[in-house]
Amino acid sequence: MRTLVLVKKYALGLVNALKDDDEFSLVSQELAEFWTFFQTHRELSELLASPFIPASKKDLIIKNVLAACSLAEKTSRYLLLLVEHSRLNLLPEILQALPVLWHERKGVSTFEVNSVVALTESQKGRLQKELERLERRPVYLQFRIDPDLVGGVSLRKGNVVYDASIRGHLARLKEKICEG
């Protein structure tokens, strides 16, 4: 639970520091590329995670790495902040939360759409139009494939799940049968 609060805090802080879609795209892309780089260089990640290395040395190391990567100033400052507070391990979750918070800031609802197969463009369009009608505001859809659904779709908005999948119907049927 504490991790989710920290992730939201750091992601929201970054979202509030960004001025437009272009800057959001640039910074989030650079953060994702840095995380990929960081994961492929185990020595660096072990060095920054070590409690035996003084914070001043870690700061110097990360500054040198960031200078070599030639990242945008906001990206570099944000990564320095995460390292300074020993929160670099939260970066994957922060990267997941960024689009949702960015769209939320712009008044756009975000839905995660899970389906057993990829939806066609017309299905995506119809779903988006219907959700925009129901929400009475723009929506952003994140599509994912979930082979466990068997059929149908499942929508998630924050903590609320709308399940129109066969798996969901079977689970509700099982509950009714068990209740008698």
pLDDT tens-digit readout, 125-174:
999 999 999 989 999 998 999 888 777 788 888 778 887 777 776 777 77
Mean pLDDT score across all residues of the chain: 86
- Is it the case that residue 1 has pLDDT exceeding 90? no
pTM recorded for the entire structure: 0.72
Q: Which fold has domain 2-102?
A: Peroxidase; domain 1 (1.10.520)
Question: What is the mean predicted confidence (pLDDT) over 74-96?
Answer: 89
Judge whether 98 and 15 are in contact, CB under 8 Å.
yes
pLDDT tens-digit readout, 30-45:
999 999 988 888 888 8
Q: Which sequence spans correspond to the domains of the chain?
A: 2-102, 107-179
